[in-house]
């Protein structure tokens, strides 16, 4: 769902989880607009640091 769908503060406060990749602009937007939501990184975008 697009961020513009959450135009009212009460709607934003009801969002419990946001899932996306770890792209910095997405992280910033989520931190700004969905402060009470838990941010989940999509597992398809996570790479192993150690083999």
pLDDT attached to residue 5: 61
Q: Pairing between strand 17-20 and 38-41?
A: parallel
Task: DSSP for 1-51, please give it.
Answer: --GGG--SHHHHHH--EEEE---HHHHHHHHHH-TTSEEEE-GGG---S--
pLDDT attached to residue 43: 75
Distance in angstroms between the alpha carbons of the first and the last residue of the chain = 35
Contact present, 16 and 38 (Cβ < 8 Å): yes
pLDDT attached to residue 21: 84
Contact present, 27 and 45 (Cβ < 8 Å): no
All structural domains of the chain with their residue ranges: 12-45
pLDDT attached to residue 17: 92
Task: Give every residue of the chain whose pLDDT is below 70, as ranges.
Answer: 1-7, 45-51
């Amino acid at each position: 769902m697009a961020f513009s769908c959450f135009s009212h503060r009460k709607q934003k406060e009801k969002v419990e989880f946001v899932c996306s990749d770890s792209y910095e602009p997405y992280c910033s937007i989520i931190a700004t607009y969905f402060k009470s939501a838990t941010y989940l990184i999509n597992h398809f975008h996570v790479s192993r640091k150690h083999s």
